[in-house]
Amino acid sequence: MFRLDLKTAVITGAGSGIGKAIALLFARQGAAVVVLDIDEDGGAGTAAAIATAGGTARFCRCDVTRSEAVRDVVAAAARDSGSIDILVNNAGIAHVGNAETTAEGDFDRLMQVNVKGVYNCLHAALPHMKSKGGVIVNLASVAASVGIAERFAYSTTKGAIRAMTMSVAKDFIRFNIRCNCISPGRVHTPFVDGFLAKNYPGREKEMFDTLARTQPIGRMGTPEEIAHIALYLSSDEAAFITGCDYPIDGGFMTLNT
C-alpha cells in the first residue's frame, strides 16, 4: 500500500523540516523526487540522502517567488520524466506580529513566498497534469482556521492556501487532478529551534516546553508524522479524496476550549 512507483513528485522547500521528511518518504515509496529549495546546501543534502538510500532524486535550486524560474524547473522535470504526477507545495516562511506591529515589507514578503509561490507552482504544474491526472498537496496550517496570537501575516497566507486548495480541487476535478491541504499544528523543525534561539536566548528549553504544551496531546508533531499523511493523500489509496483540509495538530483545534 501507499506505493508511488513510476510517479514523479515535485516537492518545494524540501531542503529541511517537513519538506525534507516528505521527500525522503516519497523516495522510499518509489517516487522519483524533484527537490526544490532556495537553500542549495539543504536541497542538495536531501537529494544526496535519497540517492544514498537507493532512491531517485535531483535537486534544483529554485526561488518559488520567481514565476519564470518555477516554470523552467517544472517544465524540465516534466520533460525529463514524462509527467508531473505529484506536487507538494511546502515552501513557506513565518512571521511574528499582529496587524498593528507587522510592517508592510514583512507582510509583502510572506505573501510573495507563501501565496505567490504556491500560485507559481500551481500555474506551472497544472498544464503538465491535465493529460493524465495528478495530485496536489498544499501545506496550510491550523492558523488558517483558528486565531493564533501574533501570527497575523502568517495566518493570512495560510488562509489563502486553504481557499486556493478548494478552488483548484473544484476547477480541475474533471481532469482527474486531486487537490488537498494539510494543516499542521506546531511541528518540531529547525525553524522552531532557530526561532527560540533568536527570541528566547538562554530560555530555549523553557519556551520549547511551553509551546509543546499548547497541543493537548502534550508535545509538538514531527516532520515524519506530517509526511505520512502527505503520502496517503498522494497515493492511489486516497483516490476518492479531493477538496479537503486535514488538521494534524495533536488536538489543538478541537480540544483547546
The tens digit of pLDDT for each residue in 205-230 reads 999 999 999 999 999 999 999 999 99
Q: Is the pLDDT of residue 257 over 70?
A: no
CATH for 8-255 is 3.40.50.720
Q: What angle do CA 119, 38, 60 make, to 5 degrees?
A: 85
Query: pLDDT, tens digit, for every residue of 234-246?
Result: 999 999 999 999 9
pLDDT-based confidence at residue 15 (cuts at 50, 70, 90): very high
C-alpha distances out from residue 70 to 76, 118, 151, 209, Å: 10, 10, 28, 38
Domain regions of the chain by residue span = 8-255
Average pLDDT, the chain: 96
Of 154, 200, 232, 246, catalytic? 154
What is the mean pLDDT of the segment spanning 103-132? 98
pLDDT-based confidence at residue 52 (cuts at 50, 70, 90): very high
**Beta strands 245-248 and 8-12: pairing type?**
unpaired
List residues bridging with 58 in a β-sheet.
34
Q: What pTM did the predictor assign?
A: 0.96
What is the mean pLDDT of the segment spanning 155-174? 98
Please indicate whether residue 119 is annotated as part of the active site.
Answer: no
Query: pLDDT, tens digit, for every residue of 184-193?
Result: 999 999 889 9
Query: How much is the pLDDT for 102?
Result: 97
Query: How much is the pLDDT for 253?
Result: 92
